[in-house]
């Protein structure tokens, strides 16, 4: 199944939040499924963050690591904290 993940589920999955429903986690982790997200989710994150929504806090670094894991890609960064994620991150 090809899944388009909405913004909240995307953020909860990236943050490994307990708010992510078990059924969503099962579907996202099933290797038979292709998991996609829209660039519109990134716009939504930017807009809601700019509006200082108290219930909408995002760690952008975690989103980039999650995308690198999903694609798979190597995240090129200068943020040494992200080195803990292993081979998916290259700190320069």
- Residue 27 is predicted with a pLDDT of 92
How far apart are alpha carbons 3 and 61 in whole angstroms?
A: 23
Q: Can you give the pLDDT of all 92 residues of the chain as single tens digits?
A: 899 988 888 888 887 889 999 999 999 999 999 988 888 887 887 787 778 877 666 666 877 787 787 778 888 888 888 888 888 889 98
pTM for the model stands at 0.60
- Residue 60 is predicted with a pLDDT of 63
- Residue 29 is predicted with a pLDDT of 92
């Amino acid at each position: 199944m090809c899944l388009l993940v909405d913004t909240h589920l995307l953020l909860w999955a990236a943050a490994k939040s307990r708010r992510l429903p078990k059924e969503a986690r099962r579907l996202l982790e099933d290797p038979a499924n292709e998991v996609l997200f829209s660039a519109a989710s990134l716009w939504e994150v930017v807009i809601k963050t700019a509006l200082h929504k108290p219930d909408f806090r995002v760690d952008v670094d975690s989103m980039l690591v999650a995308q690198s894991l999903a694609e798979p890609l190597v995240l090129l960064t200068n943020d040494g904290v992200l080195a803990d994620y292993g081979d998916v991150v290259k700190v320069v």
